[in-house]
Structure 1
């Protein structure tokens, strides 16, 4: 494990730094953290002035027990120097390393840069952030506490996960954060002293992850079922736990519940095929709103077959043999010599439009399914433009009673 710390030019006084039930008397927070966490190596970011003021004394304080190296950085007075500091932090840490960050003696923008660099290393180089710490000398000059600022890195994780949910509708990362919070709480033994314990966070996290997987992999039946399970989680208990253990999630909780609840049917087995199809059409609209064109085309093709099945009195619209019969009729309505004299045309507003829609959907669906492994492929721009601007309109015009 590596400790990455920063030295300034201040006149550091000897004091007794405190972490939980441990204390270390020293001038340097880095020394105290070494005693508390026993890192294998210490990397110290220093300006030329800071090195002259403190480097030798810090090395003497650490002694032979902790291997230490210095990395020169500029003072960060101009923008180019800011990026030099960022590079210095990033280049001081090896991929897959475990790192403690100490920002106590950092100045100007360095604390922010260290936090951002830590978040970058975590994502780009699989670095494990063991902790981010600050020695609060101002809080108690005789026994200053060590503050754990690691949640600041977690806040960036929340930001990333939130952006993904808002842009794509996926809450896999949000769900993982919720599940991890509950796991870490019990692994750390905090349940022995805490009045509030997370019980529902992991359940809710697992539910929204399952929902997201159903959405991403075009599993509309699973989505309807998982959405109903989500509604069974008591809201009041969940809100209390979120407020205590996952504060950033408070801003999203209501939106997630509202967004996913639209797909729910409390008992799918007792619901009508029409109700199920309407929920699936909501999902189709969701795909288009989130610009998930691939999923929209895949679902749109299957939705059309399902709608005609139901219109034809086939309540078990997922039956493979019955679907094949509908698909055969649809196929007869395409090609160079289409035959529109099919039994199913009585269920749509226009046989010609149905044949054209089926021809396009089939071609586009096959192009996606074959991953461009065909001589005459369709451009991504064409697929996206169709999904965004024509798919829902085409289905709504043909089968308005199922899309209202």
Structure 2
């Protein structure tokens, strides 16, 4: 385990640093941390001025220390030089401990952020973040464990993912971990209140997120409807007591996901189910989830026409019949001198006001984009990602809404 510490030019006074039942008397908090924990090497980051002031005494107090020169951090360029120095001092997968007690200006904060970046980008494990709380008028100075603040980075990352993509999988995992760790540590035996709802709600929003990502609209409706069975008041109490960062997102997640809620969607009226799927299509487009939007848009087209024809929109044979009719329509509109295919008769009879030219063009485009997506560019004339995205963002939602008007 490697300790990263920082030295400034201040006049550090001798004090007795304490950690649990241990204590070390020294001028340098890094010397105490070095003894309190299983530290192999110490990387001491310091400016030229700090070296002149402290290195001789520090190296005697911390014999396993190595010096790393850094600038003062007075400019953005110098801050990035410090970042590079920290990165170069840490190997991928290594475990580090951060001492953020001493240094100049905002360097401790910057290094803390650099450490959390390494945690994500290089699989670096942060064994702890510590601050020596020196007080001039007291003989003993406690060392504070700031490691829990790292969880704010996890909350930030999970929140950003939810706002950007609509996926609450990471947020759900954080909630379930809080309740699971609470009971694993036996805290229910010594604390007056215990979390009851975090695992249930966390698992539910993870399941909802998977249904969204994998285009499971019917399962999504079922899962979001089940949110109503969780006591909102109890959930609020648990969040307030054990997951405060989540309190800012709870109402938004409830509102965003509740729009898809429909108990027993397979037994509900097709019009209700399809309307919810249109809402999901709008969600995909808004979140730039183009692949999901293309897949859902194609199936929605078939489902709407099945329903308009009074077919079972979930029936395999019925869907195949409608698909054949749509494909026959495209082929016929490309060569109208041919007799009208029998597969079109049902569409024309049941929906005499249907604009066949519009439907032919729309289905032809949608079919091409969907097939190109499914074949993962394994075609000589594949579409570009930009073209596919343009199709989704252009008028896919409006065309599906127009098609929905054929429903009774």
TM-score relative to the length of structure 1: 0.91
Partner of 1:337: 335
Residue 322 (structure 2) aligned to one of 310, 313, 326: 326
Distance in structure 2 (CA, Å) of the matches to 1:104 and 1:402: 68
* 2:354–2:406 Cα contact (<8 Å) kept: no
2:351 is the counterpart of 1:354: no
Tell me the number of residue pairs that the alignment of Structure 1 and Structure 2 aligns. Answer: 399
Return closer, same or farther for 1:139/1:145 CA change in 2, 3 Å cut-off: farther
1:230 match: secondary structure = helix
| Secondary structure class of the residue paired with 1:77 | coil
Determine if the alignment matches structure 1 residue 224 to structure 2 residue 217.
no
Q: Give, in whole Å, the separation in 1 of the partners of 2:53 and 2:183.
A: 44
**1:102-150: CA deviations, max 9, x gaps?**
1001221101211210121011111112221111224973332222222
Q: How does 1:36-75 map to 2 (within 5 A)?
A: 36-63=36-63, 67-75=64-72
Contact kept in structure 2, 1:74 and 1:85, CA below 8 Å = yes
Q: Distance in 1 between matches of 2:398 and 2:199?
A: 40
Superposed displacement of residue 300, structure 1:
0.5
Q: Distance in 1 between matches of 2:187 and 2:137?
A: 25
Q: Which residue of 2 aligns with 1:378?
A: 383
2:34 alignment counterpart = 34
| Aligned 8 A contact 2:304 2:403 in 1 | no
Residues 118, 153 of structure 1: 8 Å contact kept:
no
Per-residue deviation at 1:189? 4.4
Query: Paired residue for 2:92?
Result: 95
Distance 1:294 1:228, change over 3 A: same
| Equivalent pair of 2:2/2:96 in contact (CA under 8 Å) | yes
Residue in 2 that maps onto 1:204: 201
C-alpha distance in 2 between matches for 1:368 and 1:156: 35
1:193 alignment partner, one of 176, 190, 214:
190
Whether the 8 Å CA contact 1:115–1:153 is kept in 2: the answer is no
Compared with structure 1, are the counterparts of its residues 318 and 230 closer, same or farther at alpha carbon in structure 2 (3 Å cutoff)? same
From 140, 145, 151, the equivalent of 1:143 is: 140
Q: CA deviation at 1:307?
A: 1.5
> Residues 5-404 of structure 1: matches in 2 within 5 Å?
5-63=5-63, 67-138=64-135, 141-315=138-312, 317-335=313-331, 336-337=334-335, 339=340, 341-345=344-348, 346-347=350-351, 349-400=354-405
Q: Is the 8 A contact 1:24 1:32 kept in 2?
A: yes
Tell me how far 1:12 sits from its aligned partner.
Answer: 2.0
Q: What's the CA shift for 1:97?
A: 1.0
Partners of 2:308 and 2:407 within 8 A in 1: no
The Cα of 1:297 is off from its aligned counterpart by: 1.1
Structure 2 residue runs of 5 or longer lacking an equivalent are none
The 3 A distance-change label for structure 1 pair 140 and 292 is farther
